[in-house]
Amino acid sequence: MNQHLRQIVVFAVLLAAAIGLFLLDFTTGATQISLHDLFLYLTGNENSEVPAILIREFRLTRVLTAIIAGASLSVSGLLMQTIFRNPLAGPYVLGISSGAGLGVALLVLGASFFGMNAFQTGGGLMVVLAAAAGAGLVMMIIIAASLKMRDNITVLILGILLAAVISAVVNLLQYFADSFSVKSFVIWGMGSLTALSFNNLSILIVICIPLIMGTIYLCKPLNLFLLGEDYARVSGVKVHSLRIAVFVITCVLAGSITAFCGPIGFIGIAVPHITRWIFKTQNHFVLIAGVVITGAIFMMVADIISHSFASTGVLPINSVTAITGIPVIVYIVIKNQKNYF
Amino acid sequence: MTVAHHIATHYLSVGYGKHKVLCNISLRVEAPSFILLAGRNGSGKSTLLRTLLGLIECLDGDIQISGASINAMTALQRSKLIGYVSSKPFAINNFKVAQVVATGRAPYTNWTNVLNNNDKFLIEKAISDLKIENIADKKTDAISDGERQKTMIARALAQNTPIIILDEPTAFLDYPSKKDLITMLQRLVSEHNKIVISSSHDLDLLIPVVNNIWFCNKQLVYSDTPENMMQYDDFKMFYNK
């Protein structure tokens, strides 16, 4: 009971922090927009100084994207760490983000051969589908490998090698593509929370939120899976179905975020560990809610950092998450003698 | 529960892929019964147990549990019939011993995994049967291998199945704990009408108390009472070694 009370308090504190960061992130950026402007916008009042379109398309969309990207990547990282029984699993490390990148590259750079720009003509949904398909391809290879080779390190190395092959293929595609497409692809590759329109964001919301909610149904089997595959099966878990469910959810979550925001690294690995550490539990019922809010916080902090140097423009979000996320991962690797799995 | 639970195998072959470890196994056991699965290292004991559990597929033949083929059952149906204690120590931290024991109730809870009073009663009873009350609140990384073993046995008891399969449950235990465990398994059989199948190398402790011995030798499984088994040359050689 004591532990439950503590977890509720921690959750309340995180929620308060998230709301604070939401407001702070909202006011951070090149244009001065105050909370009063947000209040006027939300209550539907006229605002002569800041047009509503600026608030909606630029600021609100960016902050909500940060929240949903942080939450989605963290959830897919958590699911992958449990299913692979590997503390270093995550959509970025295992090459899932690279796979999504390959899908996008094939679409964007491929479209350039026909004189089109996929980001503009194909529309958001095409990019999502391409990214999810690419992510699914890599995930299938990784799952097949992890069934054959029970060794965690081998699977990680395979993920890294796959990412290397994919980046080589992407380089080749870039070599042959026209400069305009290459530029838009390279910028996409740096990661950005600002490239989305409000319509793109609504696609993300419609895809990601139901999937994240759906993972609550997986909490019980995921908890049992922590005891090992045999114990999960003798406890009545359909392990095969669980793997497929996790496979689909992680690919679509990581794939769709990657499609719109670029490959954002290290959130997926780092946030589940931070969450286990603050909530002191392995219970997925607590962890799912925990990673959603911690992931959102992590991403908003990264977004605030990337916009705090407004005089020089916006820093690539990928660099910010790497610089803030990698120390956490280094800490995990060093401390992993007391392993989680 | 008037019908006695039973396990029957018909010309069963077990193994991995093309490699058959044991062939033509036709065994039958009816509750209550305490069975010792004996045999040398690598003779196929674990493979047979894992096949009985439905963890690996039968290469040939069929297993019937209380009249139903194991292949026709869902994982959930099986989990209400057979409990399992693996020989491999599990490696999971950040879990309390009591929480691990509680996972034994998973087949009976809904997706929210909320435990009712009966669940809680069975969990507490399993913990006290194994005498691990003192470590119930400890994290699993702070206990010994033997205590982990007892935790997983308690977990299988909490599952409250008519059949319990244990793969070398005495391996990590000290001598008094071995004797306690065997006494407790005996009680499960005599008082609760269960079928207990346990592989073990502690023959001296188990032979006096079991009803039957299944002996894995040269790709075959021999089944007989301990008295008759002692007449069998291969078993005598194995036992005296």
DSSP per position, A229-248:
HHHHHHTT--HHHHHHHHHH
CB contact under 8 A, A285 and B113: yes
Using CB atoms, which residue from A217, A235, A239 is nearest to B111?
A: A217
- Mean of the pLDDT values across residues B132-141? 92
CA-based nearest distance B79→chain A, Å: 5
Digit-coded pLDDT (tens) for A69-115:
999 999 999 999 998 888 888 888 888 888 988 998 888 877 776 66
* pLDDT at position B48: 96
Does A341 map to a domain?
no
∠ CA A137-A159-A229 to the nearest 5 degrees?
Answer: 85
* pLDDT at position A281: 87
CB contact under 8 A, A235 and B95: no
Looking at beta carbons, which residues of chain A come within 8 Å of B152? Answer: 231
- Mean of the pLDDT values across residues B151-170? 95
The DSSP bridge partners found for residue B167 are B199
Which one-letter amino acid corresponds to residue B159?
A: Q
* pLDDT at position B43: 92
Intervals of chain A under pLDDT 70: 1, 113-124, 150-152, 310-312, 336-341
Q: In this predicted model, which residue has the larger pLDDT, B3 or A224? A: A224
CA-based nearest distance B40→chain A, Å: 23
Number of domains in chain A: 1
Region for B194 from its dihedrals, namely left if φ exceeds 0, alpha if ψ lies in -120 to 50, beta otherwise: beta
Percent of chain B past pLDDT 70, that is, above it, reads 97
All residues at 6 or more sequence positions from A137 whose CB lies less than 8 Å from its CB, including other chains: A99, A102, A103
Q: In this predicted model, which residue has the larger pLDDT, A340 or B214? A: B214
Q: Which domain holds residue A144?
A: 3-335
**Kind and range of the H or E run holding B68:** strand B68-69
Chain pair A-B, CB pairs under 8 angstroms: 82
Does A340 map to a domain?
no
CA–CA distance, B63 with B82 (Å, rounded to integer): 13
* pLDDT at position B226: 93
Does A251 map to a domain?
yes
Does A100 map to a domain?
yes
CB contact under 8 A, A220 and B106: yes
Q: What is the CATH number of the domain that holds A300?
A: 1.10.3470.10
| B75 has a chain A CB within 8 A of its CB | yes
Using CB atoms, which residue from B88, B94, B107 is nearest to A236?
A: B107
* pLDDT at position A311: 66
Identify the residue whose tokens are 């964007």: A108
Contacts 24+ apart (CB under 8 A), B203-207: B203/B36, B203/B38, B203/B239, B205/B170, B205/B178, B205/B179, B206/B36, B206/B182, B207/B36
pLDDT at B2 over 60: no
* pLDDT at position A124: 65
* pLDDT at position A117: 62
Digit-coded pLDDT (tens) for A219-271:
999 999 999 889 999 999 999 899 889 988 988 899 889 888 888 988 999 99
Confidence of residue B17 (pLDDT cuts 50, 70, 90): confident
Using CB atoms, which residue from A220, A281, A338 is nearest to B113?
A: A220
Does A212 map to a domain?
yes
Does A150 map to a domain?
yes
Does A211 map to a domain?
yes
Digit-coded pLDDT (tens) for B40-86:
999 999 999 999 999 999 999 999 999 899 989 999 999 999 999 99
Q: What is the ipTM of this complex?
A: 0.93
CA–CA distance, A62 with A198 (Å, rounded to integer): 9
Q: What's the pTM value of the predicted model, to 2 decimals?
A: 0.90
Give chain B's mean pLDDT: 91
CB contact under 8 A, A234 and B53: yes
CB contact under 8 A, A233 and B93: no
Does A51 map to a domain?
yes
* pLDDT at position B14: 95
